[in-house]
Structure 1
Amino acid sequence: MVLPCLNKKFLQYTLLFLGLTFSTGLFAANNPIQQQCDSLIASGRKELDVRNYLKALELSKEALQIAKKNSWQEQIYTANKNIGSAYLAMLNYGDALDYYLTAYKIALKENWPTKEVQILNNIAVLYSKEKKLDRALEYFTKAYKLSKKENDSVTIAGYSLNVALVLTNMNKVDEARKYLDEALGYAKNDPEFTDNLQGAVAENEMLKGHSAKARQMSLALLDKIKGQKNKTETVTLQLIIAKACLQENDYATALRYTQMALKNNKDDIETKKAIYTIFSEIYTKSGALLEALRCKDSVFALQEKISDIKNGKAYEETRVKFEMQEYQNKIDINEATIASERKMFYSVLLALLAVLLLIFFVLRNLAIKQKQKKLIAENSHQMLALELEKKKSEALLQEKLFREQQTETLLEQERLKNEIEYKNRKLSSKALYMSGKDQLIEEFVGLLSDQPEVARIPAVRNHIRHLKNTLKPDNEWESFLRHFEEVNQGFLSHLRQKHPDLTANDIRFICYVYMNLSAKEMATMLNISLDACRKRKERVALKLGLPDATALYGYLSGI
């Protein structure tokens, strides 16, 4: 195990020695080239800031060629980002996206979180301008999440605002408001940015239909930013006020603030197009259809102007590409002149190549050993995964068995319930039969007793006495209770425990109710009228503390 470590150290020191040997002579020559590359990038950025996009493209592409030739990743990233920004400003979204994505890949590869967030934001802005709001939201959200990881309150507030603006454009005003509130929390120490956020909140309120609140907030913000040279925020607030007044059908005020926005807007054609669209809505709703048509014509004219600008910029872009190709051709010619000077350099490289091949074979052996270890580790991992899968299958089987047992338990409970209901019905039938039999015997005894000549016969008198003995209600009731307890075990004991003041007649009536007998059946068994049966049910319900007799059966079922 010591040998691989020694080989690795040997490689490190060998490469360090070679690097020092060649970099000592080259550093002085390469450093001015790197300075030239950085200077070109800085100059391109300045031209971009003053909206000289063609010059910015020329300088940034020249810097990109130098950076690529020397594999300077940071300069390649910055040049790609600046070129993408220039194309974005020239409305060439396709080329802008290509350069932005190249910069994004470099940021990911080099693990530069800050640069990754910046380029994600630029890509999101591009999709916003293309009106591809879903993609814009996707990239703004990525930038927002990365800024949360970095825990920088300023960037979190900025990207929260960006996400909120896209959601607002997608008419998802409630979601947008959550991000605006979060941005306000992070930007509380930055008054200027807080004012911008309040403007976005005002627009959010206006889109929710809270026109009065939106108008009041925008008016207050206009007073705060009065006198600022940059009129962009002023125009935005004036348009929010105009839209709020339009919602309130205050066309005069809406028209006045739209005119003010038009006056304050300088060079932004897209904003001017939006202003004339609002003019058209105002005139249409107020009935000035001729003025509305004129404003619509202005919108169409501005759209044509935007198209002309795009075409003009595309021509200039082609010219710049041609000039850059000419510049590349000159570079190629210069490289051909110094090709002979490189022959000696290549001779040295051949010698170094032999040394590197030796090092390569050593490293290859180490790589093979590492691969073998990796294979062993992967096999172990697969075995562990199979074991986990087996345990998972066993767990699923146990769960299936448990569910089957649970189903069987429920079926058994249902069977027992049905059996109890059947026995209760059988018991009620028997009780009805006994009640009818007793009534018949009672009527027969009464009939015989009303015949004196028959009642005097000793044999008849003995039979009458025997029949009267069979009519004793206590024997029948005790027999009924025994059968009831066998079917409904524990019910009467729980009932007496909860309500000890119930009489025997109350308990008898409750048993009939629990058996779900009809009022007619209970009246027959108790030998009372239907009205008396109803009143007894109400009296028993009151004894049990129930507000209504209709709840009696449900209450008894729960005991």
Structure 2
Amino acid sequence: MISKCFRRNLVFTIFLFLLPFQIFAIDQKDCEKMIIEGVEAMNKKDFTKSLQILTKTRKIAQDNKWYREEFLATNNIGANYYMRLDYGEALNNYLDAYKIAVAHLDEKSEMTVLNNIAILYSRDRKTEKAEDYFLKAYELAGQVNNNISKGLYAINLTIVSNEKKDYKTAKKYIDEALKLTLDSPYYLLARSTYVETLVNLKQFDEAEKISTELLPKLNGVEHSEYKTQIFYNLSTIAEQKNDLQKSFHYLKLAEASNLNYDFKENIFEKFSNLYKQKNNIERAVSYKDSIMVIKDSVNKIKNGQLFENSKIKFELQNSQKNLAESQEKLTTERSLFIKGILLAIFVFIIVFWALRNSIVKNKQQKIIEQSNAEIAKLELEKEKKNKEILENQLKEKEVLALLEEEKYKNEIEAKNRKLTTKALQLTTKIELIDDLVKTLSRQTDDFENQDVSNIIKQLKIFQRQSREEESFFIHFEEVNQGFISKIKTLHPDLNSNDIRFLSYVYMNLSMKEISSLLSITTEACRKRKERIIKKMEQDDNLDLYDYITSL
């Protein structure tokens, strides 16, 4: 065996050898964790932290040529700038991500970034460009048979077609989207967009029906945008049907559920038009002024975001400078660690050479121990086999004993059956003599025949002798040894007649058969049974047969 000292030295040497790689090495899983951390910071609106993490991750991925991680980092950097309303910087990052996807990754990554670019153009009111990129993503999804993504891109193409007032094309795309997204999370979005398309096509009744079905399902903040659009469309339907009161009602509901600052402009525009139709010029003008205020607010937000973006870019540049300095420092430290590795290897060689003889000796000792273990194992197996032979012999003896016991039981049962048959024959004989005596008695009364009377007397004497025959009980005791003595021991108050009665019960004779053997009525037989149970000090409801057979 290898000594504990050698094992400790070996583990320590390997640790020294791998230590620098453990410190400096960052694998793809670490990169993925950093990307997740960056996305979480972005979702919490901590854009500075998110961009610092994602920029660092992208640099690591570029150095190691990890294209998927580079793509994800770049794509999410673009998402940060998109949420900061810096559409120019967002587009640059999306285009970089698209180049990585086309050159090194699969179609799914390509579709994702195409859709992001299209959304960016749509937000910037560049409808034609948005449609081009949505169409590319849609066609690519069709080529790879990704129906759910294709359905989502069909919804986006519907929205763009509605913005272009190309309602026929919008209807074609939304019909396809409804089929493709039937069992997906995008189905509610598809239905909501379908309502908007129906309103544009002036199919108001169908649009209103679907809107009524959809509204109960649009609970929660995540569906607020869909809910706002439904209320807005219902307001438009009511306006087209000249029901201005209902139109105002739905528009107010749309305003209450709206969380999109940009969409306020559309809501206020409709308020202005509705008040104009009611000839309330003052309120119409007021809402027009509110639209200008909203536009100014959006511009201020965008300008503020651009300033913040400039600050973030400066911080990123500073962070990149610090990162470069850190890498230089790490390079120096790595050089020192490499020297340490060489020293550790030298120590390892010396230790290995010094302990080699000890290892050989330990191997020999191990062989001896294995031989002893084999001998002990063989002895144990021999002992186990001997034990199994003894167990088998014991089992055989037990089986023979059971067979003998079963044979004895069968013999007893056969003798009991003979005794039962004999008792039943005796009962039959007694009953026959009883009938004969009764018949002859009637004849004697009629004819006063002395010979007949003598025959009757002899029959009665024979009948009495048959009932008192003791040979039956001698045979009964031979067959059922110990039964009568056990009964007498447990219940000493029982007399010989009681024992006779219990013997008949033990043979499972009926009350009628027992009464015939004892020359008493069936009712008297039952009363005798009750008296015997009472003598035995047992419960009145006792099953006498079960009791005596269990003794």
Structure 2 portions without partners, runs of 5+: 1-16, 339-551
Q: TM-score, normalised by structure 2?
A: 0.55
Question: In structure 2, what is the Cα distance between the partners aligned to 1:78 and 1:98?
Answer: 14
Question: In structure 2, what is the Cα distance between the partners aligned to 1:89 and 1:227?
Answer: 22
Q: Partner residue of 2:179?
A: 185
Question: In structure 1, what is the Cα distance between the partners aligned to 2:219 and 2:119?
Answer: 28
Q: Partner residue of 1:332?
A: 324
Q: Partner residue of 2:439?
A: none
Query: Within the alignment, does 1:320 sit opposite 2:312 as a pair?
Result: yes
Question: In structure 2, what is the Cα distance between the partners aligned to 1:301 and 1:57?
Answer: 32
Q: Partner residue of 1:246?
A: 239
Question: In structure 2, do the counterparts of structure 1 residues 276 and 204 end up closer, same or farther at CA, with 3 Å as the change threshold?
Answer: same
- Could you tell me which of 181, 191, 197 is aligned with 1:204? 197
Question: In structure 2, what is the Cα distance between the partners aligned to 1:260 and 1:308?
Answer: 27
- Counterpart residue identity of residue 307, structure 1: N
Question: In structure 1, what is the Cα distance between the partners aligned to 2:29 and 2:186?
Answer: 36
- Counterpart residue identity of residue 281, structure 1: N
CA drift at 1:61 = 1.8
Query: Within the alignment, does 1:234 sit opposite 2:215 as a pair?
Result: no
Deviations 1:401-447 (A, max 9, x none): xxxxxxxxxxxxxxxxxxxxxxxxxxxxxxxxxxxxxxxxxxxxxxx
Structure with higher RCO (Cα < 8 A, 6+ apart): 2
CA drift at 1:227 = 6.4
Q: Is the 8 A contact 1:215 1:245 kept in 2?
A: no
Pairs within 5 Å for 1:206-225: 206-225=199-218
Q: Partner residue of 1:56?
A: 50
Q: Secondary structure at the match of 2:302?
A: helix
Question: In structure 2, what is the Cα distance between the partners aligned to 1:337 and 1:30?
Answer: 12
CA drift at 1:28 = 4.2
CA drift at 1:69 = 3.0
Question: In structure 2, what is the Cα distance between the partners aligned to 1:229 and 1:322?
Answer: 34
Question: In structure 2, do the counterparts of structure 1 residues 59 and 25 end up closer, same or farther at CA, with 3 Å as the change threshold?
Answer: closer
Q: Which moved more, 1:214-223 or 1:124-133?
A: 214-223
Question: In structure 2, do the counterparts of structure 1 residues 157 and 340 end up closer, same or farther at CA, with 3 Å as the change threshold?
Answer: closer
- Counterpart residue identity of residue 88, structure 1: Y
Q: Partner residue of 1:78?
A: 72
- Could you tell me which of 119, 141, 149 is aligned with 2:135? 141
Question: In structure 2, what is the Cα distance between the partners aligned to 1:54 and 1:269?
Answer: 23
Q: TM-score, normalised by structure 1?
A: 0.54
Question: In structure 2, do the counterparts of structure 1 residues 322 and 338 end up closer, same or farther at CA, with 3 Å as the change threshold?
Answer: same
Question: In structure 2, do the counterparts of structure 1 residues 107 and 227 end up closer, same or farther at CA, with 3 Å as the change threshold?
Answer: closer
Q: Partner residue of 1:311?
A: 303
Q: Partner residue of 1:272?
A: 264
Question: In structure 2, do the counterparts of structure 1 residues 155 and 110 end up closer, same or farther at CA, with 3 Å as the change threshold?
Answer: same
Question: In structure 2, do the counterparts of structure 1 residues 281 and 86 end up closer, same or farther at CA, with 3 Å as the change threshold?
Answer: same
Q: Is the 8 A contact 2:51 2:316 kept in 1?
A: no
Q: Is the 8 A contact 1:67 1:73 kept in 2?
A: yes
- Counterpart residue identity of residue 261, structure 1: A
Pairs within 5 Å for 1:95-494: 95-190=89-184, 193-226=186-219, 230-266=223-259, 268-337=260-329
Question: In structure 1, what is the Cα distance between the partners aligned to 2:48 and 2:275?
Answer: 41
User: Could you say which structure has the larger radius of gyration?
Assistant: 2
Q: Secondary structure at the match of 1:263?
A: helix
Q: Secondary structure at the match of 1:171?
A: coil
Deviations 1:288-308 (A, max 9, x none): 111111111111111111111
Q: Partner residue of 1:469?
A: none
Give the number of equivalent residue pairs.
Answer: 322
CA drift at 1:244 = 1.6
Question: In structure 1, what is the Cα distance between the partners aligned to 2:48 and 2:288?
Answer: 33
Question: In structure 2, what is the Cα distance between the partners aligned to 1:58 and 1:85?
Answer: 14
Question: In structure 1, what is the Cα distance between the partners aligned to 2:327 and 2:217?
Answer: 60
Question: In structure 2, what is the Cα distance between the partners aligned to 1:198 and 1:174?
Answer: 17
CA drift at 1:35 = 4.5
- Counterpart residue identity of residue 271, structure 1: F
CA drift at 1:339 = 5.5
Q: Partner residue of 2:416?
A: none
Query: Within the alignment, does 1:39 sit opposite 2:33 as a pair?
Result: yes
- Counterpart residue identity of residue 244, structure 1: I
Let me know the Cα RMSD of the aligned residues: 2.6
CA drift at 1:232 = 1.8
- Counterpart residue identity of residue 286, structure 1: K
CA drift at 1:181 = 0.9
Question: In structure 2, do the counterparts of structure 1 residues 296 and 82 end up closer, same or farther at CA, with 3 Å as the change threshold?
Answer: same
Q: Is the 8 A contact 1:219 1:241 kept in 2?
A: no
CA drift at 1:345 = 12
Q: Secondary structure at the match of 1:32?
A: coil
Question: In structure 2, what is the Cα distance between the partners aligned to 1:142 and 1:233?
Answer: 25
Q: Is the 8 A contact 2:20 2:334 kept in 1?
A: no
Structure 1 portions without partners, runs of 5+: 1-22, 347-559
Question: In structure 1, what is the Cα distance between the partners aligned to 2:144 and 2:218?
Answer: 32
Question: In structure 2, do the counterparts of structure 1 residues 107 and 255 end up closer, same or farther at CA, with 3 Å as the change threshold?
Answer: same
CA drift at 1:245 = 1.6
Question: In structure 1, what is the Cα distance between the partners aligned to 2:112 and 2:246?
Answer: 40
Question: In structure 2, do the counterparts of structure 1 residues 336 and 127 end up closer, same or farther at CA, with 3 Å as the change threshold?
Answer: same
CA drift at 1:344 = 11
- Counterpart residue identity of residue 56, structure 1: S
- Counterpart residue identity of residue 248, structure 1: K
Q: Secondary structure at the match of 2:182?
A: coil
CA drift at 1:117 = 0.5
Question: In structure 2, what is the Cα distance between the partners aligned to 1:94 and 1:195?
Answer: 31
Question: In structure 1, what is the Cα distance between the partners aligned to 2:150 and 2:132?
Answer: 16
Question: In structure 1, what is the Cα distance between the partners aligned to 2:55 and 2:313?
Answer: 9
Question: In structure 2, do the counterparts of structure 1 residues 226 and 68 end up closer, same or farther at CA, with 3 Å as the change threshold?
Answer: closer
Q: Is the 8 A contact 2:158 2:173 kept in 1?
A: yes
Question: In structure 2, do the counterparts of structure 1 residues 229 and 76 end up closer, same or farther at CA, with 3 Å as the change threshold?
Answer: closer
Q: Secondary structure at the match of 2:26?
A: helix
- Counterpart residue identity of residue 258, structure 2: N
- Counterpart residue identity of residue 272, structure 1: K
Question: In structure 2, what is the Cα distance between the partners aligned to 1:339 and 1:205?
Answer: 65
Deviations 1:307-346 (A, max 9, x none): 1111111111111112122222222323444565788999
Percent identity, aligned pairs only, is 28
